[in-house]
Amino acid sequence: MYTCTQCEKHFATPHYLRQHMNAHSSKYKCTECGKCCGRNRNPAVHRRSHSGEKPFECTVCGKRFTHSAHLVGHSRVHSGEKLYKCHLCHKAFGHSGYLATHMRVHTGDKPYKCSLCDASFSQSSNLQAHKRHVHSNRRPHDCRYCGKWFKSSQDLKRHVYTHTGAKPYSCRHCSDCFRQVGQLKAHLLKSHNEGTWFTCHICQKKFSLSGNLKVHLLRHEDVKPYVCRDCPKSFYTATEVRRHQLKHSDYKQFGCCSCGKYFKRKDNVVYHFRKCSVRLGFVNMFAN
């Protein structure tokens, strides 16, 4: 990582650091957000981020952009052009930023640290998701079918598929469809040998998703970055700590439709329902 000597902000490449350092020496400062533009940046271009002006339009899909460079990068989505290639696993990317993020899979760098616990992450988006799921109880997104609340719009979107049965991600090689893009990626790798496996450098175990490899490596290193807010116990993943925190809560959201009994965890009510339905079947058989 490359660090700014004036504000200690981190960057993935020397190029991005130089661009950032230009902002410190700039004479132009935005009156709306206080951001400084570098010597090579046009202040008028920055003002578009406040005005919403997007003069650059994609001729394929009609999507518009504030900067011409963003349009150039977006055009690679349609052309399939991937200029930036990893020299370790030869995976290619359409943007240099995606390659810089990918390299952290090999180096193990995690520059984004949580200010509330000891967890660290390779991407800022993962840090934000961690704070939202582990350290916040705010759930602003509600399901229109069952009224259940979720912390992110993506969590809600995945949940809604359980009501509608929608499987929007289809395989281009066969008729299989999937609810989640991760399931599609795993299918392409396992069934059609398309994509790149993520391999553990310690035990050589292969994964279809980079996130699964990251969790796997934590177990090798015995690193548990997710700490329960109610006790000192720690866990490898956010899912594990959420499941554990149910022990400290009296909230039971999963109900058996046969007897009305409620449970804290979904797997518990599924297990109970199997026994309950069998028991009720015997009762009804003898009653008749």
Residue 36 pLDDT: 64
Domain locations along the chain? 2-94, 224-274
Residue 239 pLDDT: 79
What is the torsion angle, in degrees rounded to the nearest 10, for the CA atoms of residue 262, residue 263, residue 264 and residue 270?
-130
* 70's tokens: 């963003």
Other Cβ atoms closer than 10 A to 192:
13
- The two domains 2-94 and 224-274 share their CATH topology (first three levels equal): yes
DSSP designation for 94: S
For the chain, residues with pLDDT lower than 70 are 1, 8, 12, 23, 25-29, 31-43, 277-288
Residue 39 pLDDT: 52
DSSP designation for 201: T
Q: What is the pLDDT of residues 130-152, one digit of tens each?
A: 777 777 777 788 888 877 778 77
Q: Which residues pair with 262 in a beta bridge?
A: 255
pTM of the model: 0.44
Helix (H, G, I), strand (E, B) or coil at 240: helix
Q: Whole-angstrom Cα distance, residue 189 to residue 45?
A: 42
Question: Which of 253, 251, 225, 219 minimizes the C-alpha distance to 238?
Answer: 225
Structural domain 2-94, CATH architecture: 2-Layer Sandwich (3.30)
CATH of domain 224-274: 3.30.160.60
Residue 28 pLDDT: 64
| Rounded alpha-carbon distances, angstroms, from residue 47 to 19, 50, 73, 204, 274 | 18, 5, 21, 49, 60
Residue 6 pLDDT: 73
